[in-house]
Amino acid sequence: MSDDCGEVPEDLWTTIDALWKWLEADQPVGGREGLLLRMLKLSEEVGEVAEAVIGATGQNPRKGVTHTWDDVEAELCDVVITAMVALRTLTPEAREVFGRHLRRVAGRSLERP
């Protein structure tokens, strides 16, 4: 998952469900272990964000500037997609679970005193 975000599909969750089905169809490890590996994929993607930020800022003196901020954007998109697929792996009600959680976070964060 290393392409840029591009246009958001009309129904984001339909695309997430299609990606989940595609992964499930060719999953080398199933069951609980497969579930845990799917969750660990998120850590891998977050690490790629860190690598891109380090590369975009030239923080590794041995390597210099190796990435662009466009690379960072793409890696962040991968994190979001991977998290959504992981949530879909946990529950077929991912759309509803995410929607409820987003409303709670927005409600407590955006309320005016």
Residue by residue, DSSP assigns the chain as --S---SPPSSHHHHHHHHHHHHHHT-SS-HHHHHHHHHHHHHHHHHHHHHHHHHHHT--TTT-----HHHHHHHHHHHHHHHHHHHHHH-TTHHHHHHHHHHHHHHHHH---
Token code pair at residue 42:
């998120």
Along the chain (113 residues), what's the average pLDDT of each consecutive run of 10 residues? 56 95 92 94 98 97 97 98 97 97 96 73
Which pTM value belongs to this model? 0.85
